[in-house]
Structure 1
Amino acid sequence: MLVKRFADAKPYEAPNHRGVVGLRLQGWEEGGPTNQWLGYSQFLPGGGAGPDATPFEKVYLVIEGEMTVFVDGQETVLGPMDSCTIPPGEVREIVNRSNHVCKMVVVIPYPPKVSA
């Protein structure tokens, strides 16, 4: 078992994100998960990500606040304990339209290993 304390979480930069601080809770370390990593994102009012797509799926879980997710011209507002899966290749944009910080957990698989 690998225990990591929130106080020890390290920040990370996510491409095409704005107004956010991301912390890596689990992943990318010896003894950590082997299939995916776990991030914690704190989006300021007006903060967000995209529009863009990735070659892997993502799972978002809103812990506090709300996040608006745009996919295929439709918008969905996620509130506390709401979650969604974004499939590989799906273009999405997320925006915190509220005046409160949106706190989200993000689960993302590791990229495929490249054989030599």
Structure 2
Amino acid sequence: MNVTRFGEAQAYSAPNHFDVRALRLQGFAPGGPEQFWVGLSHFLPGGGAGPDSSPLEKVYVVLAGAVTVKTPDREVVLGPLDSCTIAANEIREVKNNGNEVATMIVVMPYPEAKA
């Protein structure tokens, strides 16, 4: 078992994100998961990510607040305990249009070099 205490989670900088604070909860460390990693993102009011894409699929789970997730085919507002999957290479944009911090779990496989 690999335990990460919230107070010990390491911050990281996510590319093409703005007004977002991100913590790595699991992954990229000895004893952690071998196929994926888990992050926690705090989107400040007006904060967001994209538009961009990655070659890896990902899952978003909103814990608090609300975020708007936009793809070329759809735009949806996700609230607490709502989730979505972003397919590999799917262009997406994430934005916190509210006045409170939005908190979201992100689950992604490792990049090919880490798998």
Query: What is the TM-score normalised by the length of structure 2?
Result: 0.96
Secondary structure at the counterpart of residue 29 of structure 1: coil
Equivalent residues, number: 114
Q: Which amino acid aligns with 1:87?
A: A
Report sequence identity in percent: 55
What's the counterpart of residue 63 of structure 1?
63
Structure of greater Rg: 1
How much does 1:72 deviate? 1.0
Structure 1 match to 2:88: 88
SS in 2 for 1:7: helix
Q: Supply the RMSD in Å over aligned alpha carbons.
A: 1.1
Shift of 1:112: 1.4
- Which residue of structure 1 aligns with residue 75 of structure 2? 75
Alignment of structure 1 residues 1-116 onto 2, 5 Å: 1-72=1-72, 74-113=74-113
- Report deviation, 1:77: 0.2
3-state SS of paired residue (2:7)? helix
* Amino acid corresponding to residue 69 of structure 2 in structure 1: V
Specify the code of the residue in structure 2 equivalent to 1:95: K
1:111 CA displacement = 1.0
| Counterpart secondary structure, 1:30 | coil
5+ residue gaps, structure 1 = none
Q: SS state of the match for residue 25, structure 1?
A: strand
Q: Structure 1, residues 63-114: CA drift from partner, whole Å, max 9, x if none?
A: 0000000111531000000000000010000100000000000001101138
Q: What residue ranges of structure 2 are gaps of 5+ in the alignment? A: none
- Residues of 2 paired with 1:44 and 1:113: CA distance? 31
